[in-house]
Amino acid sequence: MKKEPKNFLSVRELGEQGLLKRLQRFCPPEWVGDDAAAIAMTPEPNRSLVVTTDMLVDGVHFSDRTTSAEDVGWRAAAANLSDLAAMGAAPLAITVSLGLQGDTPVSWVEGVYTGMVSCLDRYQTAIAGGDVCKAPVNVISITAIGWVPTDRTIRRQNGKPGDAIVVTGVHGASRAGLELLLHPEIGKGWSEEETQELITAHQRPNPRLDVLPILWEVMGEGGEIAGMDSSDGLADAIVQIARASGVGATLDRPLIPLPPSLSQRVGEERALEWALYGGEDFELVLCLAPEVARQFVERLGNRAAIVGTLTKSTRVCLTDSTGAYADEVITQSLSFQHF
């Protein structure tokens, strides 16, 4: 977190109640001010409440080198909304808990909230409250609440041999954007447009709530869906789905959608590594019956692709339909791990 000149107002100087009063303006007034938020809901049968929590820590998930306060807020909100999308759920609200160092500028905290609201407004989602406390390092913890029709809940365990593996968007863009922020010399000779597109992919990812209505139209009334988001990398998502479903998977190397011209810029091997293991693309990885998968991809055009198949074996591997490369076992060992 960037330290501003000493003429800034710190959270220590403003105090807990003063900070809470400032942050309440980012929330609907009817939801804050009590011990908990009371959100009116229309009771309907066959609905499941979906709850997810994600934590971002200064120096681990964000830094001044790569993210402004507004970008931190956006990414924090997007990460949680992506988890809801991965379950097939529509968002209702989020709560935000902050652990803050006393010398943190109030302007930085307000910037975080501005970024969160900018992201949430796209999905008609509000901040329902939260908490603040003193901490040795700045921490943002968000709990997101959503709902999903029970028979449309996306679960990792629902995969079946023969299912097509579908991914939305492109993979490797967020990692490429991070590398450009950390090592600007990599982008020498790149156009400003492609550089900014990759940086934006890292700083302002979009949770794929937008594709769910199309998925439900294609699915019709029945059928189970296996899936999750690719926040920890495409390889991690496929391994986790296969493991939870008790199946294997083959992923066809040439079919993995990469950002335009990335292979030419950084080389095919590095581009593929960033796509498989870079993480933070926040796309959806879905396992669908082949005909449903084809219809879904057709509806989304270049915003989705079939990249492989679930198999009866428990082996997860990267294949190459062109024959240029030998099969390669995919593991989680190269994906991001906290410990």
Residue 131 marked ligand-binding? yes
Is 130 annotated in some ligand binding site? Answer: yes
Residue at 139: amino acid letter: V
252 a known binding residue?
Answer: no
Does 113 appear as a known binding residue? yes
Is 58 one of the annotated binding-site residues?
Answer: no
| Beta carbons of 226 and 163 less than 8 angstroms apart | yes
54 known member of a binding site = yes
Is 325 marked as a binding-site residue?
A: no
Helix (H, G, I), strand (E, B) or coil at 233: coil
CB 112 within 8 A of CB 73: yes
Q: Determine if residue 156 is labeled as part of a ligand binding site.
A: yes
Q: Is 52 annotated as a binding residue?
A: yes
Q: How far apart are CA 115 and CA 71, in angstroms?
A: 6
Q: Is 61 annotated as a binding residue?
A: yes
Q: Is 70 annotated as a binding residue?
A: no
How many CB atoms within 10 Å of residue 68? 16
How far from 54 is each of 71, 106, 172, CA to CA, in Å? Answer: 16, 23, 22
Token pair 């999905």 in the structure block, residue: 123
Task: Give me the sign of the Cα torsion angle 59, 107, 39, 17.
Answer: positive
Q: Read out DSSP for 265-329? A: HH-HHHHHHHHHH------EEEEE-HHHHHHHHHHHGGGEEEEEEEESSS-EEEE-TTSSS--EE
Pull the structure tokens for residue 237. 């998502």
Cβ(96)–Cβ(142) under 8 Å? yes
167 phi, psi to nearest 5 deg: -120, 140
State which H helix or E strand residue 218 sits in: helix 212-219
The annotated binding site for substrate is made up of 61, 280, 336
The annotated binding site for ATP is made up of 113, 130-131, 156, 231
The annotated binding site for Mg(2+) is made up of 35, 52-54, 83, 131, 229, 232
The annotated binding site is made up of 35, 52-54, 61, 83, 113, 130-131, 156, 229, 231-232, 280, 336
